[in-house]
A and B are shown apart, each in its own frame.
Chain A
Amino acid sequence: MNVVVCVKQVPDTTARKEFLPDNRINRAAVENVINPFDEYAIEEALRLKESQGGSVTILTMGPPSAEDSIRKALAMGADSGVLVTDPALEGSDAWSTALVLSRALARLDYDLVMTGMESTDARTGLVPAALAEQLKLASLTYASRVEIADGKVRVNRQIPGGYQEVEAVYPAVVSVVKGVNEPRYPSLKGIMAAKRKEIQKLGFSDLDLPADSAGKTGEKAKAVEVTPRPEKPAGEVIRPDSPEAAAGAIADFLQAHKFI
């Protein structure tokens, strides 16, 4: 089972974001990390490798510094990495990102493509399905459980109030939700081993794409405006005299807000 995990480097979720004049996030101004949802995808792929054999390849489109994220995934146990990096790709939207990834995938040998359900910076959640569309593969999104059996991939697909059981022959594209597993920390041995693993670099010209298909020029979605989230109003502090009064106050609050 050879799995390619598409990993995005994103600004640290806890950092305050700054925006460039064209409404894109200023990635140079913040600490960048692996998209937290992708960590679940990496972990799931590593578990498949451990149970089924095969390999895990990390595929990333991003600036040269995104190599750090690939390196971390290699330290967690992935076998090799591919970084697609080119100034011409800057500003790619979800559709052209999927296009670029699909072209990079055409050069790789895989049984499964895994991704996180969305990235924590843009949060469109469009790339997994768009990628499946480009690859003409089945798209199994929001998986909270992934299983390989009889040449098929089966997932529990999370939906409001429950889950659907979905299966497809692979190759297929699977996106996973938070909580599908508990991602491991890289080990020190993994860190040292990652130094010796290969990261292949691809540029725009390696992808056989028309010049206007990606980056700013290939844009199909345009960020018109960014508005900072309104500041959270200060919460109300209640200081009951006794545990009983506290329990009552909590129950009243939950009832008033229709939680119970």
Chain B
Amino acid sequence: MDFALPDEVTMLRDLVREYVRDRLRPLTMQVEEEDRIPDGILQEMKDLGLFSIPFPEEYGGAGLGELGYCVAFEELGAVNAAYSNIIGGHCGLCGMSIALGGSDELKGRYLPRMGTGEILGAFALTEPNAGSDAAHIQTTARRDGDSYLLNGSKLWVSNGPMADLYTVFAVTDRDQGAKGVSAFVVERDTPGVTIGKIDEKMGLRGSRTSEVFFADARVPAENLIGEEGKGFRVAMRTLDGGRMSLGASCVGQAQAALDLALEWSKQRIQFGQPIASNQAIQWMLADSEVEIHAGRMMVYHGAWKIDSGQRASHEAAMVKVYCSEMLGRVVDRAVQVHGGMGYMKEFDIERMYRDARITRIYEGTSEVQRMIIAQDLLSGD
């Protein structure tokens, strides 16, 4: 048992922490107001290698594994959630679906350029009629010679409007249910692929989501990820890693909210003393500290499990539901500690409260995670 992070992960953490403090923190309000991350900043992040953290080194990735990826997400949690959302859609979902399920040829074709950020990825699973019930998607892929024709529409695709390629899930055999779903890499400039309007969201400003439509979009058969009918498995394995890193981002956001609450509780004087001298405030701070620690340990454990080659779907579901709900409680307390100030746009905490809400919904709602956990329990796995 060793709880120390490997040296290279510590260096990665220090790098991201420094970068966040010096370059990203000063931009938090600007990103929020303009609803975009400046291109120059995205380029800097790509140059640092932040778009390649979990990709294997033989495909030009940083090779820092799920643990490195999670630790970076924890640090990114200190600023607008858009950063980790963009990298999450690109690396953790689109890239890793190729890395986990794709042929060597497919990996060689896309991962190196994704790692440098030359091309940006997105993950298109959700549809208007299939959210939690992802196995019932309606987009179809019909074999036609040495290619497939894709038809259907995808909803709320993170990075959708900017992406150069999409991991798209489509039905190849309607009768097989979840076993009839296949995954494809679809390039943006494929004729028949169009982008819908950019969604107006509650938070996550700076990260763009949109619909993506497919009308007889012709995709070469080599772009099938793995085999026909294995798409749902690819999705679930990819989401294991995605949920782990999402949990990490929740831990980082929660830590940032606690840090702000702590600072404010020492500064704000009421009844002649800092509000931190009241036990009511102290308990909120203490509860948050406890829960953040628990979440962090769960994330590191789950990431370690993935990096050591074990399946971690059960852990990923627990990390996802615990960390996202933990964040909800911590950020809510942080607003409470700030009083009216916490409701004001000029304070970071107001944005953090809105940014946090999505984490209980996407990549599988809290309810879906509990379904997975309970099914594992009841099936005796």
Contacts and interface: CB of A to CB of B under 8 A. Distances in A.
Nearest to B10: A68
Contacts of A71: 7, 11
16 contacts: A72-B11, A75-B11, A187-B47, A187-B48, A187-B49, A188-B15, A188-B49, A189-B49, A189-B62, A191-B12, A192-B8, A192-B57, A192-B62, A194-B11, A195-B7, A195-B8
Nearest to A67: B7
A185 B18 contact: yes
A188 B53 CA distance: 8
Interface in B278-314: none
A240 interface: no
A71 B6 CA distance: 13
A188 B15 CA distance: 9
Nearest to B18: A185
Contacts of B64: 188, 191-192
Interface string A171-212: 000000000000001111101101100000000000000000
B15 A186 contact: yes
A186 B16 CA distance: 10
Interface in B48-78: 48-50, 52-53, 57, 62-64
Nearest to A72: B11
A185 B12 CA distance: 11
B264 interface: no
A72 B57 CA distance: 20
Contacts of A188: 12, 15, 48-50, 52-53, 62, 64
A195 B57 CA distance: 14
Contacts of A72: 11, 14
A127 B11 CA distance: 28
A185 B19 CA distance: 8
Given A186-B15, A188-B15, 16 more contacts: A75-B11, A75-B15, A187-B48, A187-B49, A188-B48, A188-B50, A188-B53, A188-B64, A189-B49, A189-B62, A191-B8, A191-B12, A192-B57, A192-B62, A192-B63, A195-B7
Interface in B302-339: none
A192 B53 CA distance: 11
Interface of B: 7-8, 11-12, 14-15, 18-19, 47-50, 52-53, 57, 62-64
A112 B258 CA distance: 48
B347 to A, nearest CB: 20
Nearest to A31: B14
Nearest to B19: A185
Nearest to B52: A188
Q: In terms of DSSP, what is the predominant structure of the interface of chain B? A: helix
A71 B11 CA distance: 9
Nearest to A33: B14
A72 B14 CA distance: 10
A192 B12 CA distance: 9
Interface in A145-180: none
The 5 closest A-B pairs by CB, nearest first: A188-B49, A188-B62, A191-B11, A187-B49, A187-B48
A246 B239 CA distance: 55
Contacts of A75: 11, 15
A199 B63 CA distance: 22
A223 B248 CA distance: 47
A49 to B, nearest CB: 18
A114 to B, nearest CB: 22
A187 B57 CA distance: 14
A124 B47 CA distance: 37
Contacts of B50: 188
B43 to A, nearest CB: 13
Nearest to B12: A191
A71 B52 CA distance: 21
Contacts of B62: 188-189, 191-192
A133 to B, nearest CB: 35
A191 B72 CA distance: 14
Interface in A109-127: none
B356 to A, nearest CB: 27
A189 B55 CA distance: 12
Contacts of A186: 11, 15
A187 B51 CA distance: 11
A71 B15 CA distance: 12
B115 to A, nearest CB: 9
A14 B220 CA distance: 56
A152 B240 CA distance: 58
A186 B62 CA distance: 12
A191 B19 CA distance: 15
Nearest to B57: A192
B212 to A, nearest CB: 29
Contacts of B63: 192
B90 to A, nearest CB: 15
A47 B239 CA distance: 42
A185 B11 contact: no
Nearest to A74: B11
Contacts of A185: 15, 18-19, 48
Contacts of A187: 47-49
B357 to A, nearest CB: 31
Contacts of B15: 75, 185-186, 188, 191
A71 B9 CA distance: 13
Nearest to B47: A187
Contacts of B11: 71-72, 75, 186, 191, 194
Nearest to B60: A189
Interface in A51-76: 71-72, 75
A185 B46 CA distance: 12
A186 B7 CA distance: 14
B126 to A, nearest CB: 30
A152 B48 CA distance: 34
Interface in A67-102: 71-72, 75
